[in-house]
Amino acid sequence: MKSDKITIAEIVSLKKAGEKITMLTAYDIGFAAVLDRADIDIILVGDSLGMVVLGYDSTVPVTMEEMLHHAKAVGRAVNRAVVVGDMPFLSYQTSTYEAIANAGRFLKEARCDAVKVEGGKEICDTVEAMVRAGIPVMGHIGLTPQTASQLGGYKVQGKDAEPARKLLKAAKALEKAGAFSIVLECIPDTLAQAITESISIPTIGIGAGIYCDGQVLVTHDLVGLFEKFVPRFVKQYAKLAPQMQKAVTAFRDEVKSGAFPDKDHSYTMQGDIGGLLDKKNKKIK
C-alpha cells in the first residue's frame, strides 16, 4: 500500500475542514486508474454496474460474485482513493451473519476499504454489527435503487414534511450505528442541507444539491457513455459514446478499404521472405 493512501478518518475530517469530497464509480482497472490519477477521494464499485456495464434493467439482479469480480479489478488499480464496495440486493438484508460475511469478502478478496448499504433505520442493527466487526460502512438513503419499486419508482424522495422527517431520522440513526458517511440520493437540496448540518459524518449527494459535504456521479453518466437515459441531476462533462462510434466506424471503413494497417502499424522482417517460400507454388522451402 502506498503511503499517500487516503484513510477513512481523513474522509471524515474533510467535513470538519470544509473541503468537498469527490466520489465516482469504477468497475474496471482502466476507469479506476483514471479516477485515482485525478485524485478522486472515493472510488465506488457501485451496483450501478448492473445497469451501465452488464445491461440489466435495474440493480436488483446484481450478484455478490459479479460485484467481487469487478471490485477486485478496481482494487488492483487504486493506490490513493478509498475504495468502497457496494453490497448488492439481498447480500445484507437476510441476516447479520450474511451481511458481515459478504461485507468481509469485499475487504478480504477485493482490497476494498469499506462497503455501502442502502436503507434507513431498518438496517441500523446490521450496520452496527458490521462496524463492530471492523468493517467501515457508508449508508445510502433517499432514492435507494434496490428498493425503487417500493418507493414508487425512480422519483425524488422527501418532498413532503413526513417523509423528510423520516430521512432526517434515518441519517441520525445511521450516524449512531457507526456509518462513516451517507449517500443522499435524489432529495430536495434544503432537506440535504438539514441532514448535512444535523450529523457529524459527511453526506455525499447525487441529485441532492449543493449543500452536501461531497458529490458522487456514475462515471459512465459523467463521460457520456451510458445513453439509455440521462437523469436530470447528471452533468455530462464529455460525450464519449459518439466519439467512440466515430472511431469504430473509421476502423471499419479503413479495414474494408485496405487503408489499415499501413506500413507504420506493421512489422518488417530482417531478411527476405523469398528465402523461406517458393514463389511459384507458395510452399515452404
Contact 44, 84 (CB under 8 A): yes
CA–CA dist 74, 197 (Å, integer): 32
Q: Which of 216, 220, 223, 225 binds ligand KIV (CB under 6 A)?
A: 216
SS3 146: helix
Among 66, 118, 128, 185, the one annotated catalytic: 185
Dig out the grid coordinates for 120 from the structure.
434507513
Closer to ligand KIV by CB, 194 or 208: give it: 208
Query: With 0-12 CB in 10 A as exposed, 13-18 as middle and 19+ as buried, what is 183?
Result: buried
User: Is 224:246 a contact under the CB 8 Å cutoff?
Assistant: no
If the CB atoms of residues 88 and 188 are measured against ligand KIV, the closer one turns out to be 88
Q: Give least dist CB 48 to ligand KIV, A.
A: 3
Residue with cell 474494408: 256
Does the annotation mark 118 as catalytic?
Answer: no
Contact predicate 59/149, CB 8 Å: no
Cell of 160: 413532503
If the CB atoms of residues 150 and 270 are measured against ligand KIV, the closer one turns out to be 150
Q: Does 206 bind ligand KIV (CB under 6 A)?
A: yes
Q: Find out whether 84 and 112 touch, Cβ atoms under 8 Å.
A: yes
CB contact at 8 A, 194 and 169 = no
> Does residue number 221 form part of the binding site for ligand KIV (CB under 6 A)?
no
144 binds ligand KIV (CB under 6 A): no
Among 22, 26, 27, 47, binds ligand KIV (CB under 6 A): 47
Beta bridge partner(s), residue 216: 23
Contact call for residue 128 and ligand KIV (CB under 6 A): no
Q: Does 48 bind ligand KIV (CB under 6 A)?
A: yes
Q: Report the residue from 24, 53, 83, 218 that binds ligand KIV according to the rule CB under 6 A.
A: 218
Q: Does 202 bind ligand KIV (CB under 6 A)?
A: no
What residue ranges bind ligand KIV (CB under 6 A)?
A: 25, 44, 46-48, 86, 183, 206, 216, 218
Which of the residues are catalytic? 185
